[in-house]
């Protein structure tokens, strides 16, 4: 089977010749840039500066030779822009923790007296910086810049300034990428723009020069209860813009796209859901259903959603809304036992992730502990298809290379490649 066929089998809940694998095929299955450079060295691949896919998480663009070495079955059409509104179309060198990496050429970075680095929205240093990398840090944190929310003078359009319809420039960029990647015969995943439906990563407006609306994350998480009409208005606009983007992409790509990533809004914490089922079904589910219904009526695309945390009680509503796959399957969170997940929902939703704990086992365990956990998860999740192997979220900085190799080798062992 080709990689594309393997992934399609997973979505059909059928066992393929091998369990499909994803590293770098969507926004939350990436690898830290320094770790990526170390992996290239391990596999003896040509030396080259890693291109930073997103300055927020400092993860790298997956090159074809590393994808081949890791056995990847999913290819992302690289994001046109990153969290801070930088365009991934041209590059310049920058030093990141002693490594030379490539960052977007329009990215503006300024050091402060403490050795930290500020980053500016859309590369515009005439406005306040929207992110900050502390000295010795690994990631750029979002900065709060907006004025206090004024309920009496609120305008939902303020909240969606960072969620435009996919531009012609973005579409042209992705058409070019499809031309480069189509012959790989990997499944193609794309995110045609921003439409977060409350994604905390985007709430502060890191890609907006002067954000307005509810931009404080703590306040946003209470907004569905305090300002439900405002939230619904915001989501209605985001839905309309998302569907217009989908139409534009379907006209251009048809069913050459396999997987559509719709958003990364988290509804769970380590201890369980962040809200009750009734709140999710009242505030969020109608908007997800509208998006999913359009996609399923008009395309063959499969819908992927990212959602961290203990979300076991919310999964039936996500399935009912039409979500086809969930990532990252955080098995360490409350209620997320792998066997219970598979036995309860394995016929109804694809589990994309869950392969190994990136908080503990992968960064701090032994290679043997990594191998054992990976094989256990594969045994559980792969039964009757409906599974794509990936770590639980991105592979973080300082993760030992022997542990990553143990993970990759365990997958190949399970797949009969070793």
Kindly report the CATH number assigned to the domain that includes residue 187: 3.20.20.210
- Rounded to whole angstroms, the Cα distance separating 309 from 327 reads 10
The range of the structural domain enclosing residue 401 comes to 3-31+69-79+146-414
Confidence at 184, pLDDT banded by 50, 70, 90? very high
Q: Is residue 372 part of a domain?
A: yes
Q: Is residue 93 part of a domain?
A: no
Q: Does the model's pTM come out above 0.85?
A: yes
In three-state secondary structure terms, 303 is strand
Cα 242 from chain centre = 17
CB contact at 8 A, 391 and 362? yes
- Rounded to whole angstroms, the Cα distance separating 318 from 306 reads 11
332-382 pLDDT, tens digit each: 999 999 999 999 999 999 999 999 999 999 999 999 999 999 999 999 999
> For residue 2, which of 17, 23, 22 has the smallest C-alpha distance?
17
Q: Is the pLDDT of residue 58 over 90?
A: yes
Q: Is residue 136 part of a domain?
A: no
Q: What is the pLDDT of residue 193?
A: 80
Q: Is residue 123 part of a domain?
A: no
228-263 pLDDT, tens digit each: 999 999 999 999 999 999 999 999 999 999 999 999
Q: What is the pLDDT of residue 51?
A: 98
- Rounded to whole angstroms, the Cα distance separating 314 from 274 reads 10
Q: Phi and psi (nearest 5°) for 326?
A: -125, 140
- Rounded to whole angstroms, the Cα distance separating 304 from 176 reads 23
Q: Is residue 106 part of a domain?
A: no
Q: β-strands 59-60, 50-54: how paired?
A: antiparallel
User: The tokens of 392 are what?
Assistant: 């639980």
46-57 pLDDT, tens digit each: 999 999 999 999
Q: Is residue 91 part of a domain?
A: no
CB contact at 8 A, 186 and 3? yes
- Total domain count, the chain: 1
193-231 pLDDT, tens digit each: 877 788 988 999 999 999 999 999 999 999 999 999 999
CB contact at 8 A, 6 and 387? no
Q: Is residue 16 part of a domain?
A: yes
> For residue 159, which of 241, 282, 79 has the smallest C-alpha distance?
241
**DSSP-derived secondary structure for 157-169:** HHHTTT-PPPPHH
Q: Is residue 301 part of a domain?
A: yes
């Amino acid at each position: 089977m080709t990689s594309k066929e393997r992934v399609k089998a997973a979505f059909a809940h059928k066992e393929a010749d091998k369990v499909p694998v994803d590293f770098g095929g969507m926004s939350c299955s990436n690898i830290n840039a320094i770790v990526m450079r170390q992996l290239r060295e391990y596999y003896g691949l040509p030396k080259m500066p890693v291109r930073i896919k997103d300055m927020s998480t400092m993860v790298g663009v997956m090159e074809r030779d590393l994808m081949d070495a890791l056995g990847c079955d999913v290819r992302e059409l690289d994001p046109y822009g990153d969290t801070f509104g930088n365009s991934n179309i041209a590059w310049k060198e920058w030093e990141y923790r002693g490594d030379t990496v490539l960052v977007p050429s329009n990215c503006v970075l300024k050091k402060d007296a403490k050795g930290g680095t500020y980053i500016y929205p859309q590369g515009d240093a005439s406005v306040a910086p929207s992110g900050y990398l502390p000295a010795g840090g690994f990631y750029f944190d979002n900065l709060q810049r907006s004025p206090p929310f004024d309920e009496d003078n609120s305008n939902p359009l303020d909240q969606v300034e960072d969620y435009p319809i996919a531009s012609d420039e973005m579409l042209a960029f992705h058409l070019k990428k499809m031309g480069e990647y189509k012959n790989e015969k990997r499944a193609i995943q794309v995110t045609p723009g921003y439409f977060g439906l409350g994604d905390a990563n985007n709430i502060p407006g890191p890609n907006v020069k002067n954000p307005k609306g509810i931009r404080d994350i703590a306040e946003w998480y209470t907004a569905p209860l305090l300002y439900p009409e405002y939230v619904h208005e915001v989501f209605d606009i985001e839905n309309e813009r998302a569907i217009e983007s989908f139409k534009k992409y379907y006209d251009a790509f048809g069913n050459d796209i396999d997987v559509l990533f719709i958003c990364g809004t988290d509804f769970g914490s380590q201890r369980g859901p962040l809200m009750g089922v009734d709140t999710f079904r009242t505030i969020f589910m109608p908007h997800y259903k509208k998006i999913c219904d359009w996609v399923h009526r008009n395309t063959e695309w499969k819908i992927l959603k990212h959602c961290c945390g203990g979300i076991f009680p919310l999964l039936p509503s996500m399935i009912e809304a039409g979500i086809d796959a969930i990532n990252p399957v955080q098995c360490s969170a409350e209620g997320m036992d792998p066997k219970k997940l598979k036995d309860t929902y394995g016929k109804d939703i694809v589990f994309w992730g869950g392969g190994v704990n990136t908080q503990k086992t992968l960064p701090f365990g032994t290679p043997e502990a990594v191998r054992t956990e990976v094989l256990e998860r594969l045994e559980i999740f792969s039964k009757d298809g409906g599974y794509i192997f990936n770590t639980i979220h991105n592979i973080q900085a300082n993760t030992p290379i022997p542990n990553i190799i143990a993970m990759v080798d365990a997958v190949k062992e399970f797949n009969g490649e070793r």
